[in-house]
A and B are shown apart, each in its own frame.
Chain A
Amino acid sequence: MVNVREAAVVVVGGGIMGCATAYELAKKGQSVILLEKGFIGAEASGRNGGGVRQQKRDPAELPLAMESVKIWQDLQEELQADLEYRQGGNLHVLGNPDRYDFFIEQLQYSQKAGLDVRLLSPEETRKLLPALKKELELLGSTYCPSDGNANPLFVCKAYAKAARQLGAEIREHEPLERLEVKSGRVIAAVTATAEYRASDFVIAAGAWSRPICHQVGLDFPVVINRSQLMVTEPLPAAFSQFVSADHCSCYYRQALSGGIHIGIPSAPIEDYNKSTSYDAFKIVGQSSMTLFPFLEQVNIVHSWAGLTSWTPDAVCIIDTAPDVEGFYLTAGHSGHGFCLGPITGRLLAEWIVDGAPSMDLSAVSWTRFNDIYLNER
């Protein structure tokens, strides 16, 4: 006998997108079941660099990021949880004349959109970030003080816990086997233990989303990347900003626990491989000695990796499916979705419950890739 469970909405994926969506739906009084293949926050949402950033965003994502930070600012209170969130700023050190104009252009359209983002002189930059290598030649930096960071380990859990308290059912170790589609409508999410029926389904399965979408005849171009991180032993507070630079590959964030998290640029990977690569060690060494020589004698104690899905324009997708009712999707966050989790959850809940999201999402529709497919064909 098939074990049938029912809810208004089934969310597939227990990362920040899925958990935020489940929470927002439950807040709107919806009955929600969330299915997670492992445990909450086990994949990229719990493995990322923890950046909550508005600057250096594509125009398509910028308004989303700015709205999301508004939610982030009160999120600890709302979820009644310590997320180690703080607005320590995001600083990108400029050092490459060839990329300078690009960053200035970004800065200008971001300012136009209302974001407080500043162009700092080399002196101002050094004053803000004294740990920077003395001999580094810099052209200045772009700095967004309202950007920040949080502890990725805590955020999904906090959302899930809050959702649960509002009545949502969070089912871990419950991998989706297939979606059941009948007369143009998704009717059930099927796992090994039960059939979960609902009127609406949200797919928020990160790097695992694309094969699920294939089941409703939807495809979009994404490449799976491996994003790696390493962390040093705990150090006294050295800087509060999330730091990146033209001069090196890595980005830097000091967690409240003192360890400096060092992010290695992601690269395409096969077979969902999450191992740590040799290259990552060399890159961390090179990058850190270029930017922060005070780390010279400091030990790397851990490494980890997460899988991210990248779209051709590195902009995310929040959309429905073309020919299927009751299907919502968020995917392709291209390594910087963490910040967008809170707003994405809220917009999807509005879309499902109120019939339309409160922000224009046409810029993050998958339809922008239609041409790519047409060209390929």
Chain B
Amino acid sequence: MTWELSLTAMMTAYVLAILFDLARVLHRAEFWVWGSTALVAYGWFTHTLDLGGRFADAWERGGSPVSNWSHWCLAIAWVLVGCDLFLKLRRPATAWGVFLLPLAIAYLAAAWRIPAGDGFQTPRAYWLLALTHGGLLLAAAIFVSIGFAGGVMYLMQARRLKLKVAASRWPRLPSLEWLWWWNERLLVLSVVCLLSGLGAGIAMNVASPQREAQPIPWHEPLVWASILMMIWVVTVAVFHGFYPPARLGNKVAYLTVASFFLFALLLWIVFVFPGDHTRPEKSIRVTGTILGLSPPEAWGRKGGAV
């Protein structure tokens, strides 16, 4: 019940913040800017308390923070909202919320739909690889999501400039140069994190049979989706590295948007066909973790699968 309450509070705050950001087009007043910022600050505060409570709970139960998909989505949403709040305070003229908050809401909805009890399966012996795998994929998810928002903003700004739409007709967007600069870096970071994160996961899976944990079967949809994602990421890296125009303007934006859609597809496959990557918490003792933040006493426990 508490979870539903805090989720409703967060979602309401974020939806209202988006509406406030959009209201600036119709009525120019500082009220909308500060109203939107206050709503996001309130939502983020609730979000922080909720996430903190979950982490503390997981810790007390011998588990770890971000130990299941629900926590994972909540953490991404939390970072996205934090970015929105930071940017709102730094550049209040831009309606960041219109682009970042819908993504945060989508992650919150995903967190709500996914059963909280499903924990990640991680062999205790490979906690460092698990940390690398989970941490990098979490970072990649954040970079890809922010990159997507940046890419959409870039394409929208470029379109408005091509159509000669007056700056006042829509909430202000950052300059193309600024967006391009960020998108380019986010693309590189997301490629690096995705490649390294997926690589760490594959390495862990290959090594698992030799130790105490069961590997994830290679025929699982998650594995194939991950391989597809890796092929895409390698293609992006090659394209980016060897074709200079791919490092400029619209192409970077297209790449960031495409990366996000493929990533969303990967997540959808993971959520719909969870397979052996996640198992019901009852049968699993969470020791090794996605962020490697499990309590020291848990490290000594027996029970390979987490």
A binds B: no
Hey, which bits of chain A sit against chain B, CB under 8 A? none
Hey, which bits of chain B sit against chain A, CB under 8 A? none
